[in-house]
Chains A and B, each alone.
Chain A
Amino acid sequence: MLDAWRWTLAVAGCSWVVAVLIGALMGTLRTLPTSPWLVRLANVWVELFRNIPLLVQIFLWYFVVPKIFPAFQLVPGFVLVVFALGFFTSARIAEQVRAGIQALPKGQRYAGMAMGFTTAQTYRYVILPMAFRIILPPLTSESMNLLKNSSVAFAVSIAELTMFAMQAQEETSRGVEVYLAVTVLYAISAFAVNRVFSWIERRVRIPGFIVAGGTGGGH
């Protein structure tokens, strides 16, 4: 079972890296002032990955992508699931990043321009550091969602916790005990994610800068 736990954490961890990198990129693109095509591209990305159920996306990556692109047949299933979960979550993170950037007063952007910064510099030194702090609370709950969503990987036989629970329940007659143990492991993992983020939040807090909490929905 600890092996299964490791798989869950591995799937969630790798997907998190993919999701945050792409989510931050797409979210930033959506706020660019002078590149309507990049904004459109990022909008399409978000709508595409947000409006298809995760389970269907996992099936698409696992079954359909290798059929269309034979090169993907050599890619292990674990990596495909990480792509699926990472891209799915990236759309949600992109939405939060966009909201975070747009929540900043316009003066921040003008201040960067007044300093003679290029757009890239304005983002790098002025906007993104502030936006990152604003989105930390919703990012926390999205990361916990990601961890919970990793359970959907059972559908393509990744040996993670939910898969383990289903198999162990069938093979032994001790379903309740198995489910209980797996549930506790999920709760512990989610709590750990929560703690790590509140630690980060404390470390990077800027005194006097009050962040409005976001309302977390979804799952």
Chain B
Amino acid sequence: MLGLDFSFISLDVIDKFVLGGLVFSVKLTIIATLGGILLGTLLALMRLSGKKVLMVPATFYVNGMRSIPLVMVILWFFLLIPTLIGRNIGAELSAIITFVAFEAAYFSEIMRAGIQSIPRGQVHAGQAMGMTYSQNMRLVVLPQAFRNMLPVLFTQTIILFQDTSLVYAIGAYDLLKGVTLSGKLYGRPEEAYVMAAVIYFAICFALSWLVKRLQVKIAIVR
């Protein structure tokens, strides 16, 4: 087909190269999503707190992260972490830390929009019930904000999954790296790139289709 030969792909190749890489890519995506949402929500709360001590550093962090290419952030962390803690932690762990820190900035923008989309009356209602600030946030505002932002959060996760391929820059063993390695080993690098594209496409396309369904479902309930 088109001068390409995919006959090297076997269960053995998939088991040895593809699955191992895929597991790390998925692990990285999940940890970065959960950690990013947690940190991002904190950053969003800091930016909306109205206290300058909290607002200024949070704004600086978010805008700073958002104005640097992800590849540069990955390189920065890979260079700085060993110098700061005095020992090598490996490309994989470095990638995980980088992605949590980086994605927090993007998730915080999403959460900020989500929190701001909650009508003021909800906050006032909480206050009228005698709730403290943290009760109000935890029981009234954040649950609704999460719900409103769910489709956007998932879309960001799909983008995040695609971006995990950039750990290529520091040589971490992810899906792309595993597939490329198998291609090099069997002398079929071009075919391996096509295989990687097909796998990424299948996963991302299926996920974005699910997000679309979710969006419809949430829209009806609301």
Contact = CB atoms under 8 A, between A and B. Distances in A.
Interface of A: 47-48, 50-57, 59-60, 63-64, 67-68, 144, 148-152, 154-155, 162, 165-166, 169, 175-176, 179, 182-183, 186-187, 190-191, 215-219
A151 B208 contact: no
B215 interface: no
A15 B176 CA distance: 24
B5 to A, nearest CB: 11
Main secondary structure on A side of the interface with B = helix
Nearest to A67: B190
Interface stretch (B10-18, B44-52, B137-145, B157-165): B157-165
A162 B72 contact: yes
6 contacts: A52-B162, A52-B201, A53-B200, A54-B162, A149-B69, A187-B68
Contact of B76 (A64, A149, A150, A179): A179
B39 interface: no
A196 B197 CA distance: 35
Contacts of B189: 63
A178 B157 CA distance: 31
Which has the most chain A C-beta neighbours within 10 Å: B68, B80, B152, B200? B68
B4 A68 contact: yes
Given A47-B205, A52-B197, A63-B189, 18 more contacts: A53-B162, A53-B200, A59-B193, A63-B190, A64-B4, A64-B193, A67-B3, A68-B4, A149-B69, A152-B69, A155-B169, A162-B75, A169-B75, A169-B79, A176-B80, A179-B79, A187-B68, A219-B106
Given A60-B197, A217-B159, A51 B204 contact: yes
Contact of A186 (B67, B109, B168): B67
Contacts of B152: 215, 217
B79 A176 contact: yes
Contacts of B38: none
Nearest to B71: A151
A52 B200 contact: yes
B70 to A, nearest CB: 6
B56 interface: no
Interface string B50-71: 0000000000000000111111
Contacts of A166: 75, 169
A217 B72 contact: no
Contact of B205 (A51, A54, A190): A51
Contacts of A154: 71, 169
A51 B67 contact: no
Nearest to A144: B67
B123 interface: no
A48 B201 contact: yes
